[in-house]
Homo-oligomer: A and B are copies of this chain.
Amino acid sequence: MTVARDEVERRVESLSQALRNAGLRLTHQRLEVVREIAQSDEHPNAESVYHRVRARVPTISLDTVYRTLTTLADLGLVTRVAATLGPTRYDANVSHHHHFVCARCGLIRDVVDEQLDAVAVPHSASAFGIVESVEVQLRGVCKDCGKKEREHE
């Protein structure tokens, strides 16, 4: 659910530094959006970032959250995760990793695995263009949804 406190601080600091390097202003709103993403490992969408940040910055608007997320994504500081259902989700973990996606509820979790990192790009893919990154999506049913299905049937 939550990222370790020192890891959060490390991420916030590194994101702040990157905003400064890009010549962007460190506004209250940006810092709180950045903090929110840094401390989450559940790949929130814009709406949930908005709701959580609003608890601390009541005047923040949803469009500021969208603009901040777009800025961060353009700088490569967060990545967008393409979810098959529902809105775009954001990931503060920019190191190489993969995802488990629940086909029922949309839950997304990071999967870190060296074997997956080692997957080789096939020739047939190189024919389409230059491959820059490889991401493995493991789709299935999460524990919670599995339990619910067993109870209801």
Report A's interface with B, CB cutoff 8 A. 80-84, 88, 98, 100, 102-103, 107, 109, 111-113, 115-116, 119-122, 124-125, 128-143, 145-146
The answer for the CA separation of A98 and B129 in the assembled complex, in Å, is 15
B residues in contact with A82, CB < 8 Å: 82-84
| CB-defined A-B contacts under 8 Å, sample of 18 | A80-B84, A82-B82, A82-B83, A84-B88, A98-B125, A100-B128, A100-B131, A102-B129, A103-B132, A111-B122, A116-B119, A129-B143, A129-B146, A131-B138, A133-B138, A134-B136, A134-B138, A134-B139
A142 CA / B138 CA spacing, docked (Å): 25
* Complex CA distance for A134 and B145, rounded to whole angstroms: 19
